[in-house]
């Protein structure tokens, strides 16, 4: 257990933490919420003992081990991945060394009382070693590394070869393997794909200790926490329930705050008006001074940035044809490694297509090809009539040139912004976490995450009708993600995107393209539904009875028979998907025809003529029957 009692910490004249009280113990499953700059990281560092508070009391139970994972900045070099991961067990090795020393002493001790004390210590240490999982460390290391997305052949790779995101996965792996009593995780999902996030959710569910999470992934928080602490203006407030429950309660509270804020702003406005009008009248000097003092002493009501509802609107997309993009026979190789082969895609205008697949499946490569950034591929990509493409990549921060970096954030945004949007630039920057004095910062001094946010916003200001987005929600907080998702859902153009944020994936997608591999063979499947529908279908596939293994001379068959069975299953799955698509297209066509006839039926020339009205109504009835029949067939196909 670690306990804070009335902890305060200030930077200059600003309180980051003010009379904060908090207990974190075994079983704690908490999220820490608050706007950017509210002090969440500072509070975690204080809990971890990295920062000392100015006042208050901190109590840590004897033997309690606290581990803190920062957002970024950890780098490992000089050892293999496996050896680095095994260092998580270094404290256990010191326990084993002490046990060996005790065993040696016990051989020489003659005094029974002393022997009893040494044996008790030896027994305690033995239990600690057993509970640490040290004897099963090879299996644990393999499970954690694979769970976090490392390939089996990565274990021998030098840690210095891994990029920044993978370096943070190494840090997370070491922390999980060390199994501390209290985990303090600051944005642990920033560099994890959807599979690694799902694995971490399960790991945390089995964790016996306590943890506090800072995360901008609402779905992840809803799965992993049962209480929320909100940090606002240095104060800490507690809410029970998952993150969605917290937002619901906080929304009701916010309505009250907004009313008090508006009332206070009205009072301030009236007072300032009186001060301006009578400042230089001697007869009103006392009243003016009283008003000035009242304003100075007034405790201002503020609306938490973390709960402000932001909405942003981007330029309407240019008019274009029905088909946004068609790709035929796409293939891509890196040396001898083939990512995909014979890939065909057709995307209609207005669709929101999500691309999913495990790390290394080729999602980013596919998006680069579709965006025209990678021209070394097999096959063809054809844009529809009038298509204007916008592309956002994960490394967008690296694309800024020197002349752009010399400008302020506001100047950079105003460079190419349409005239109609100029008055809204500040609000848009606020929605992307550039608030207050942030807009006057030089682009050159921004962090990589800040530059990525700025590049995404800049791209969205241009009038385009096909957006190809690779991880657009990285470095955005929950409210910014919501604002971006609402904007993209309302966007009349087409969006093809990759994301690892479950709520964003499910909320925006209309269709889901899966890229997968069986050994060296790539496979691409299109699902006619959002990410939730895709998960439902794939879970059903994974729970059906496995294809029978052909026995030959009393021995298991080879990989050819297994591959053939898998190929048959996938062929049947593709046939079913085509049937689903055909039925949906037919239903849509019938519904459009029915709507048109109903419009005709409402015209005076028809509804005043009994014979014509009956004929049109008969056609409507036939179409309704067709729709009902096709819908029933579609429901049967999708439930098989």
Output the pLDDT for position 544: 47
Residue 165 pLDDT more than 50? yes
Q: What is the DSSP letter of 501?
A: -
Output the pLDDT for position 264: 84
Highest CATH level, class, for 2-92+135-246: alpha beta
352 or 562, greater pLDDT: 352
**Across 234-238, 373-377, 618-622, least confident range:** 618-622
Residue 474 pLDDT more than 50? yes
Residue 238 pLDDT more than 80? yes
Output the pLDDT for position 4: 87
Share above pLDDT 90 across residues of the chain, in percent, rounded to a whole number = 30
Architecture of domain 571-639: Orthogonal Bundle (1.10)
> Rounded distance, CA 375 to CA 364, Å?
14
Neighbouring residues of 315: CB distance < 8 A, sequence distance ≥ 6: 418, 420, 421, 461, 462, 463
Output the pLDDT for position 558: 44
Neighbouring residues of 269: CB distance < 8 A, sequence distance ≥ 6: none
To the nearest whole number, what is the mean pLDDT of the chain?
83
CATH T-level fold of 323-543: Rossmann fold (3.40.50)
Please name the helix (run of DSSP H) or strand (run of DSSP E) that holds residue 59, with its range, or none: strand 55-60
What does 185-209 look like in DSSP terms, one character per residue?
EESTTTT--HHHHHHHHHHHHH--S
Q: What is the DSSP letter of 443?
A: G
**169 pLDDT band (50/70/90 cuts)?**
very high
Question: SS3 sequence, 61-78?
Answer: CCCCCEEEECCCCCCCCC
Question: How many CA atoms are closer than 13 Å to the CA of 111, on its beta-carbon side?
Answer: 5
For 534-554, what is each residue's pLDDT tens digit?
A: 988 887 666 544 444 433 333
For 90-134, what is each residue's pLDDT tens digit?
A: 888 888 888 888 888 888 877 777 888 888 888 888 888 887 778
Question: SS3 sequence, 384-404?
Answer: CCCCCEEEECCCHHHHCCHHH
Alpha carbon dihedral 213, 218, 219, 225, in 10-degree steps, equals: 40
Residue 578 pLDDT more than 70? no
For 17-41, b/e burial (b = at least 16 CB within 10 A) is bbebebebeeebbbbbbbbeebbbb
For 613-628, what is each residue's pLDDT tens digit?
A: 788 888 888 888 888 7
For 316-370, what is each residue's pLDDT tens digit?
A: 888 888 999 999 999 888 777 778 888 889 999 999 999 998 877 888 899 999 9
> Rounded distance, CA 331 to CA 342, Å?
6
Output the pLDDT for position 639: 57
Output the pLDDT for position 127: 84
Residue 495 pLDDT more than 60? yes
Residue 638 pLDDT more than 60? no
Output the pLDDT for position 559: 42
Selection from 228-242, 269-283, 309-323, 335-349 with the highest mean pLDDT: 228-242
Please name the helix (run of DSSP H) or strand (run of DSSP E) that holds residue 15, with its range, or none: strand 14-24
For 178-204, what is each residue's pLDDT tens digit?
A: 989 999 999 998 888 888 999 999 999
């Amino acid at each position: 257990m670690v306990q804070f009692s009335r902890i305060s910490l200030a930077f200059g004249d600003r309180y980051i933490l003010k009379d904060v009280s908090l207990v974190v113990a075994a079983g704690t499953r908490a999220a820490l919420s608050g706007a950017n700059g509210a002090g969440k990281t500072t509070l975690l560092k204080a809990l971890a003992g990295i920062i000392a508070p100015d006042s208050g009391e901190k109590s840590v139970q004897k033997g309690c081990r606290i581990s803190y994972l920062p957002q970024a900045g950890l780098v490992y070099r000089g050892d293999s991945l496996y050896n680095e991961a095994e260092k998580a067990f270094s404290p256990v090795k010191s326990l084993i060394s002490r046990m060996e020393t005790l065993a040696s002493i016990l051989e020489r001790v003659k005094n029974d009382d002393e022997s009893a004390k040494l044996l008790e210590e030896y027994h305690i240490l033995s239990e600690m070693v057993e509970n640490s999982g040290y004897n099963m460390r090879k299996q644990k290391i393999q499970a954690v590394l694979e769970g976090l997305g490392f390939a089996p052949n990565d274990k021998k790779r030098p840690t210095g070869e891994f990029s920044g995101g993978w370096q943070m996965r190494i840090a997370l792996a070491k922390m999980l393997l060390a199994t501390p009593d209290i985990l303090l995780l600051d944005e642990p999902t920033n560099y994890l794909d959807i599979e690694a996030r799902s694995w971490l959710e399960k790991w945390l569910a089995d964790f016996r200790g306590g943890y506090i999470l800072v995360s901008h992934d609402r779905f992840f928080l809803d799965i992993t926490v049962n209480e929320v602490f909100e940090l606002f203006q240095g104060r800490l407030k507690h809410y029970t329930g998952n993150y969605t429950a917290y937002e619901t309660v906080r929304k009701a509270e916010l309505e009250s705050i907004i009313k008090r804020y508006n009332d206070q702003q009205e009072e301030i406005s009236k007072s300032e008006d009186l001060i301006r009008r009578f400042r230089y009248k001697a007869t009103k000097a006392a009243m003016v001074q009283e008003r000035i003092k009242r304003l100075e002493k007034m405790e201002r009501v503020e609306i938490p940035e973390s709960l402000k509802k932001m909405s942003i609107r981007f330029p309407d997309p240019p008019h274009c044809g029905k088909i946004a993009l068609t790709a035929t026979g796409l293939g891509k190789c890196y040396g001898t490694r083939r990512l995909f082969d014979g890939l065909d895609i057709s995307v209609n205008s207005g669709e929101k297509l999500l691309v999913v697949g495990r790390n290394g499946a080729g999602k980013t490569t596919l998006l680069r090809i579709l965006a025209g950034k990678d021209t070394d591929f097999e096959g063809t990509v054809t844009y529809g009539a009038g298509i204007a493409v916008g592309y956002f990549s994960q490394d967008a921060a690296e694309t800024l040139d020197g002349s752009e970096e010399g400008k302020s954030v506001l100047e950079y945004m105003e460079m190419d912004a349409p005239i109609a949007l100029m008055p809204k630039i500040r609000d848009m920057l606020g929605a992307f976490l550039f608030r207050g004095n942030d807009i006057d910062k030089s682009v050159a001094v921004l962090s990589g995450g800040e530059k990525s946010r700025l590049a995404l916003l800049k791209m969205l200001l241009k009038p385009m009708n096909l957006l190809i987005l690779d991880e657009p929600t990285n470095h955005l907080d929950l409210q910014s993600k919501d604002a971006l998702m609402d904007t993209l859902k309302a966007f009349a153009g087409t969006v093809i995107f990759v994301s690892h944020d479950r709520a964003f994936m499910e909320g925006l997608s209309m269709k889901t393209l899966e890229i997968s591999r069986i050994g060296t063979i790539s496979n691409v499947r299109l699902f006619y539904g959002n990410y939730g529908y895709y998960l439902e279908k794939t879970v059903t596939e994974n729970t059906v009875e496995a294809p029978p293994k052909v026995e030959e001379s009393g021995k298991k068959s080879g990989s050819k028979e297994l591959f053939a069975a898998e190929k048959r299953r996938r062929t049947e799955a593709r046939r079913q998907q085509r049937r689903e698509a055909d039925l949906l297209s037919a239903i849509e066509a019938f519904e459009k025809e029915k709507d048109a006839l109903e419009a005709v039926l409402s015209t005076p020339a028809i509804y005043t003529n009994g014979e014509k009205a009956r004929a049109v109504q008969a056609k409507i009835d036939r179409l309704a029957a067709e729709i009902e029949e096709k819908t029933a067939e579609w429901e049967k196909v999708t439930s098989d």
